[in-house]
């Protein structure tokens, strides 16, 4: 089993979606510094994605220093400093954008959106 | 890198009907190449010609560097081929079938075959005639993977398979990527089936190849554009050749931008300067395929916009892989 999950959406690049899912997993604590990262083979097999795409995903994450290659061990999650609040906020940008676009399409005003978010937020605490 | 499959102006006629017309295509090594088109587009005929089951009427195909008409045991020991209507000897058990195939392939790997059999959840001692359709397809895949072919050719492998079997089948295909040299050529009428699997797409319609390009480049250049105007939406004249399926309803103009390129979004926004809102969104492969299919239909009536589905940089000089139909 992979230590993170990806819910694929059509229309977005598979590469970007997997990279995003890994970043999210790092921020959310599903993947922690020093944790072994799955091989290209298990990424491809478990997510049923093209092995070339899986290879590219690992390459991107290594280049962005989220992963590091340890000779003789494999790829592990970097001991980079924990994600800052800013980095975590960046991860939300895409979703926020989508929410705003949808709300505007429905001609809702900002307050109505804030109320809806607040409602959902509180429901999770219950 | 040498292409694993290469066709040059390949045509195949049955009597007066031309099933495949002037098809030039190359399948790069290490790719999962999806060959997509509606039923009756010429996919199976192309594959059968490439596999030396049919002779080309004109043009040629090479597979692993060998002319398709000269393909023999040496090549077929390195090629796995599974077709939608695979014939398997029903009186044999799966073990019997594998024992029958094993001596034909020097590279047969018994341990790998057994591992695959377990992963594909196939019973070893039941007769194949009692297998379901899905089990039969999995058995055919197993007998084509056990010798780790350099090239795996799959003709509509998912047709009529339920979701679970399809998933097992895909996992089986991905096993191949473990080895040094591998290529998968897979035909399908349903692009959704191959969206996450393929890194190259070829689109065939009415016997003609309409495009062959890496998936990343295809999804990179197609964008759905929706623009809203204060008054009635204007349609620019002349219409940019890269705008496909332009539709207008009251204040809204909608089309598919197919040019791609660095300044593509800026160009679109400039062309829609009067709009109050412009939304540019990426498209799923399925939607790209539908937009292209509609364009084929429109273009069948005339030549106008024929090059519209080619990327901007390919329109002037056409390298062979951006194959355009010649008339």
Segments of chain B assigned to CATH 3.30.70: 221-308
Decide if A49 touches B, using CB distance below 8 A.
Answer: yes
pLDDT 10s digits, B173-203: 998 887 888 999 999 988 888 888 999 999 9
Q: In this structure, are strands B252-257 and B223-228 parallel, antiparallel, or unpaired? A: antiparallel
Q: How many angstroms away from the CA of A43 is the closest CA of chain B?
A: 11
Question: For chain B, which residues lie within 8 Å of any Cβ of chain A, measuring from their own Cβ?
Answer: 30-32, 167, 170-171, 174-175, 177-178, 192, 195-199, 216, 219, 279, 281-287
Q: How many angstroms away from the CA of B57 is the closest CA of chain A?
A: 35
- What CA–CA distance (Å, rounded) separates A24 from A45? 21
**Contact A80/A35 with Cβ under 8 angstroms?**
no
Q: How many CA atoms lie within 13 A of B134 on its CB side?
A: 15
Q: Which is nearest to B194 in space by CA: B28, B27, B35, B26?
A: B35
Q: Which is nearest to A9 in space by CA: B2, B284, B223?
A: B284
For chain A, give the mean pLDDT.
Answer: 85
Segments of chain B assigned to CATH 3.40.50.300: 3-216
pLDDT 10s digits, B269-311: 888 888 888 888 888 888 888 888 777 777 665 544 444 444 4
**Contact assignment for A13 to B216 by CB distance below 8 Å:** yes
Decide if A11 touches B, using CB distance below 8 A.
Answer: yes
**Contact assignment for B284 to A52 by CB distance below 8 Å:** no
* Three-state DSSP state, B13: strand
Judged against a pLDDT cut of 80, whether residue A80 lies above it is answered with: no
Check residues B325 and A11 and name the one with the higher pLDDT: A11
pLDDT 10s digits, B98-123: 999 999 999 999 999 999 999 999 99
**Contact A103/A115 with Cβ under 8 angstroms?**
no
Rounded average pLDDT over A10-21: 85
Task: Say which of B171, B198, B285 has its CB closest to residue A45.
Answer: B171
Judged against a pLDDT cut of 60, whether residue B324 lies above it is answered with: no
The Cα-based distances of B112 to A54, B89, B144, B166, B212 in angstroms read: 23, 22, 12, 20, 33
CATH number of B3-216: 3.40.50.300
Q: Which is nearest to B189 in space by CA: B64, B293, B57, B282?
A: B293
Contacts of B44 (CB under 8 A, 6+ apart): B83, B84, B155, B156, B187
Q: Which residue of B has its CA nearest to A44?
A: B174
Task: Say which of B197, B216, B282 has its CB closest to residue A11.
Answer: B282
Residue B167: list chain A partners with CB under 8 A. 48
**The predicted structure's pLDDT at residue B74:** 93
Question: With respect to CATH, is domain A14-77 assigned 2.40.40.20?
Answer: no
Phi-psi region at A90: left, alpha or beta (left = phi > 0; alpha = psi -120 to 50)? alpha
**Contact assignment for A48 to B167 by CB distance below 8 Å:** yes
Which of A10, A12, A17, A47 to probe by mutation at the B interface, max B CB count within 10 Å? A10
Task: Say which of A12, A47, A52 has its CB closest to residue B199.
Answer: A52
**Contact B257/B309 with Cβ under 8 angstroms?**
no
Q: Which residue of A has its CA nearest to B170?
A: A48
Rounded average pLDDT over B128-155: 94
Q: Which residue of A has its CA nearest to B283?
A: A11
**Contact B41/B207 with Cβ under 8 angstroms?**
yes
Decide if A100 touches B, using CB distance below 8 A.
Answer: no
Which one-letter DSSP state was computed for residue B243? E
**Per-residue confidence at A126, pLDDT binned at 50, 70, 90?**
low
Decide if A53 touches B, using CB distance below 8 A.
Answer: yes
**Contact assignment for A49 to B216 by CB distance below 8 Å:** no
- What CA–CA distance (Å, rounded) separates A4 from A1? 8
Give the CATH architecture of domain B221-308.
2-Layer Sandwich (3.30)
pLDDT 10s digits, B204-240: 989 999 889 998 888 888 889 999 998 888 888 788 8
**The predicted structure's pLDDT at residue A23:** 86
Q: Which two tokens stand for residue B308?
A: 């519209």
pLDDT 10s digits, B1-58: 679 999 999 999 999 899 999 999 999 999 999 999 888 899 999 999 999 999 999 9
**The predicted structure's pLDDT at residue A72:** 86
Decide if A2 touches B, using CB distance below 8 A.
Answer: no
- What CA–CA distance (Å, rounded) separates B232 from B226? 14
- What CA–CA distance (Å, rounded) separates A42 from B113? 19
End-to-end CA separation in angstroms for chain A? 30
Report which secondary-structure segment, H or E, holds B135. Answer: helix B133-145
Give domain limits for chain A.
Answer: 14-77, 85-125
pTM over 0.95: no
Decide if A13 touches B, using CB distance below 8 A.
Answer: yes
**Contact assignment for A11 to B284 by CB distance below 8 Å:** yes
- What CA–CA distance (Å, rounded) separates A96 from B295? 35
Beta bridge partners of B198: none
**The predicted structure's pLDDT at residue B139:** 94
Task: Say which of B177, B216, B282 has its CB closest to residue A44.
Answer: B177
**Contact assignment for A44 to B283 by CB distance below 8 Å:** no
The complex scores an ipTM of: 0.75
Judged against a pLDDT cut of 90, whether residue A11 lies above it is answered with: no
Q: Which residues of B50-77 are buried (b: 16+ CB within 10 A; e: fewer)?
A: bbbebebeebebbbbeeebeebeeebbe
**Per-residue confidence at A83, pLDDT binned at 50, 70, 90?**
low
**Contact B203/B292 with Cβ under 8 angstroms?**
yes
Which one-letter DSSP state was computed for residue A52? H
Which of B34, B164, B174 to probe by mutation at the A interface, max A CB count within 10 Å? B174
Q: Which two tokens stand for residue B126?
A: 């039941």
Q: Which is nearest to B295 in space by CA: B203, B162, B184, B231?
A: B203
**Contact B309/B264 with Cβ under 8 angstroms?**
no
**Best mean pLDDT range from A5-9, A103-107, B177-181:** A5-9
Rounded average pLDDT over B136-150: 94
Check residues A52 and B190 and name the one with the higher pLDDT: A52
Beta bridge partners of B254: B226, B247
**The predicted structure's pLDDT at residue A84:** 65
Q: Which is nearest to B311 in space by CA: B262, B268, B277, B270?
A: B262
Report which secondary-structure segment, H or E, holds B265. Answer: helix B264-271
Which of B216, B277, B289, B291 to probe by mutation at the A interface, max A CB count within 10 Å? B216
Q: Which two tokens stand for residue A107?
A: 């001609």
Helix axes A14-28, A85-105, angle to 10 degrees: 130
Q: Which residue of A has its CA nearest to B200?
A: A50
For B30-150, list the strands marked E by DSSP: 32-36, 58-63, 66-67, 79-83
**The predicted structure's pLDDT at residue B63:** 97
Q: Which is nearest to B265 in space by CA: B233, B229, B224?
A: B224
* Phi and psi, residue A37, nearest 5°: -100, 140
Q: What is the 3-state secondary structure (H, E, C) of A57-103?
A: HHHHHHHCCCEEEECCCEEEECCCCCCCHHHHHHHHHHHHHHHHHHH
Residue B198: list chain A partners with CB under 8 A. 50
């Amino acid at each position: 089993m992979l230590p993170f999950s990806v819910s694929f959406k059509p229309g977005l690049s598979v590469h970007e979606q997997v990279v995003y899912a890994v970043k999210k997993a790092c921020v959310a604590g599903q993947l922690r510094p020093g944790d072994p990262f799955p091989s290209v083979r298990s990424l491809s097999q478990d997510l049923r994605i093209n092995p070339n795409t899986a290879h590219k995903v690992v390459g991107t994450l290594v280049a962005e220093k989220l992963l590091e290659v340890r000779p003789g061990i494999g790829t592990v999650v970097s001991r980079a400093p924990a994600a800052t609040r800013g980095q975590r906020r960046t991860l939300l940008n895409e979703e926020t954008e989508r929410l705003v676009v949808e709300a505007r399409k429905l001609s809702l005003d900002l307050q109505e959106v804030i109320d809806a978010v607040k409602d959902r937020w509180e429901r999770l605490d219950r | 890198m040498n292409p694993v499959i290469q066709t040059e102006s390949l045509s195949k006629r049955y009597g007066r009907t031309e099933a495949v017309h002037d098809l030039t295509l190359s399948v790069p090594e290490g790719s999962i190449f999806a060959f997509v088109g509606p039923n009756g587009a010429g996919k199976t005929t192309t594959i059968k010609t490439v596999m030396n089951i049919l002779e080309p009427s004109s043009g040629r195909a090479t597979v692993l560097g060998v002319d398709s008409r000269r393909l023999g045991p040496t090549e077929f020991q390195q090629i796995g081929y599974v077709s939608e209507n695979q014939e398997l000897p029903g009186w044999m058990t799966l073990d019997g079938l594998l024992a029958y195939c094993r001596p034909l392939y020097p590279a047969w790997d018994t341990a790998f075959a057994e591992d695959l059999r377990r992963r594909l959840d196939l019973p070893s001692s039941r007769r194949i005639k009692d297998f379901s359709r899905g089990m039969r397809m999995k058995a055919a895949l197993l007998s084509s993977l056990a010798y780790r072919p350099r090239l795996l050719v799959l003709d509509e492998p998912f047709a009529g398979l339920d979701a679970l079997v399809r998933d097992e089948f895909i996992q089986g295909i991905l096993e191949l990527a473990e080895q040094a040299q591998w290529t998968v050529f897979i035909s399908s009428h349903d692009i959704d089936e191959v969206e996450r699997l393929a890194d190259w797409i070829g689109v065939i319609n009415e016997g003609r190849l309409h495009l062959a390009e890496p998936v990343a480049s295809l999804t990179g250049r197609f964008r759905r554009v929706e623009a809203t105007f204060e008054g009635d939406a204007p349609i620019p004249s002349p219409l940019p050749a890269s705008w496909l399926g332009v539709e207008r309803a009251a204040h809204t103009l909608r089309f598919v931008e197919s040019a791609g390129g660095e300044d593509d979004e800026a160009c679109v926004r400039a062309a829609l300067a009067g709009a109050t809102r412009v939304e540019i969104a990426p498209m799923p492969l399925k939607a790209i395929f539908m937009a292209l299919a509609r364009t084929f239909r429109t273009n069948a009536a005339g030549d106008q916009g024929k090059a519209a589905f080619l990327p901007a940089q390919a329109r002037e000089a056409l390298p062979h892989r951006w194959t355009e139909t010649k008339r």
